Amino acid sequence: MKPLHAGVIQLDVRSGDVYANLKKAREHIKRLADSGVRVMVLPEMWSTGFVNEDTDRLSQSTPGVLDEISRLAEKAHAIIIGSFPEKIGARIFNTAYVIDEQGTICATYQKIHLFSPTDEHRWFHRGQRSVVCLTSAGPVGLLICYDLRFPELCRLLALKGARILIVMAQWPAVRASHWETLLAARAIENQVFVLGANRCGQDNDLVYAGNSLIMSPYGETLARIGKRQGSITAVLDFDLLEQFRKTIPCFKERVPEAYAQ
């Protein structure tokens, strides 16, 4: 595969203000497009934030936001990925959408692991399946925030062929060190590139970590944004990935029968 120019957008999400969040995202998408970026990742619930009591109403904005993002993806000739509140029947999910270069939806992933300490399970239904999306940038595995703490899900995505793991999050500053450590661990143990898009800013007393990162399969930081709003880019060299897998053949030397309980 040819090297891939990838980007991560970090937003200070304004809770409940879809218009303001979309305006900021649009500006960053256009800026990255002008730089030739082919894959762009937005944070978890970037268009609405978490406004639990208002989630049902805010989910109604998602189809319109998706239409706008689809137009931007087609114009930029880029893949755009981010998560939104999605209502299906009477249930609401935290759903990641992958919009391809033609502006069409090529995959969705509903967050499997809901963060019980903040009562996510009270407001959202959990997804039931892991997702690896086949894109023009190669196979991409999708994760949303708390999913990052479950290595078995990440390994499954790698076994299903993912060479890039996308992590969309609203990760708090109080556990910022966990964010970076887990991104590096998932990259190293699965020998994949990892794009971690976190939000920054503050909701009441809750401060978010920012610190969005692009990691190499070696766990090296290719790009980092810190605590400010903005974007980062890096070139993903898949020859590096293949060489790492040949040098240390973890996947070939797995012994699954020894891992059973």
Average pLDDT rounded to a whole number, residues 70-87: 98
Distance of alpha carbon 91 from the chain centroid: 22
d(CA 129, CA 202): 31
- The confidence band for 7, taking pLDDT boundaries of 50, 70 and 90, is very high
**Which of left, alpha, beta for 162 (phi over 0: left; psi -120 to 50: alpha)?**
beta
In the 3-class helix/strand/coil scheme, how is 154-191 assigned residue by residue? HHHHHHCCCCEEEEEECCEHHHHHHHHHHHHHHHHHHC
Model pTM? 0.97
State residue 222's pLDDT score. Answer: 98
pLDDT at 24: 98
Phi and psi at residue 238, to the nearest 5°: -75, -15
- In what helix (H) or strand (E) does residue 66 lie, and over which residues does it extend? helix 62-76
3-state secondary structure of 193: strand
Exposure string of 24-59, with b = 16+ CB inside 10 Å and e = fewer, is bbeebbeebbeeebbbbbbbbbbbbbbbeeebeebb
CA atoms within 13 Å, Cβ hemisphere of 193: 27
Over 90: is that where the pLDDT of 260 sits? Answer: no
How many CB atoms within 10 Å of residue 220?
12
pLDDT for the residue 1: 77
Q: In whole numbers, what is the pLDDT of the chain averaged over residues?
A: 97
Contacts of 9 (CB under 8 A, 6+ apart): 25, 28, 29, 32, 40, 41, 42, 43, 197, 212, 230, 231
CB-based contact 99:75 (threshold 8 Å) = no
Fold of 4-258: Nitrilase/N-carbamoyl-D-aminoacid amidohydrolase (3.60.110)
Q: Are 196 and 186 in contact (CB under 8 A)?
A: no
Q: What residues are annotated to the active site?
A: 44, 111, 145
Q: 71: pLDDT confidence band, cut at 50, 70 and 90?
A: very high
List the domain boundaries for the chain.
4-258
Give 52 or 214, the one with higher predicted confidence: 214
Distances (CA, A) of 26 to 29, 31, 81, 106, 245: 5, 9, 13, 20, 37
**Which amino acid, one-letter code, is at 10?**
Q
pLDDT category, 38, cuts 50, 70, 90? very high
pLDDT at 253: 96
Q: Is 142 within 8 Å of 81 (Cβ atoms)? A: yes
Specify the DSSP class assigned to residue 86: E
Number of helices followed by number of strands (H, E) in the chain: 7, 14
Give the helix/strand (H/E) hosting 5: strand 4-10
Q: What percent of the chain has pLDDT over 70?
A: 100
- Encode pLDDT of 128-176 as tens digits: 999 999 999 999 999 999 999 999 999 999 999 999 999 999 999 999 9
- Condensed to tens digits (0 to 9), the pLDDT of residues 18-30 reads 999 999 999 999 9
Q: State the average pLDDT over residues 1-21.
A: 96
Give the three-class secondary structure for 29: helix
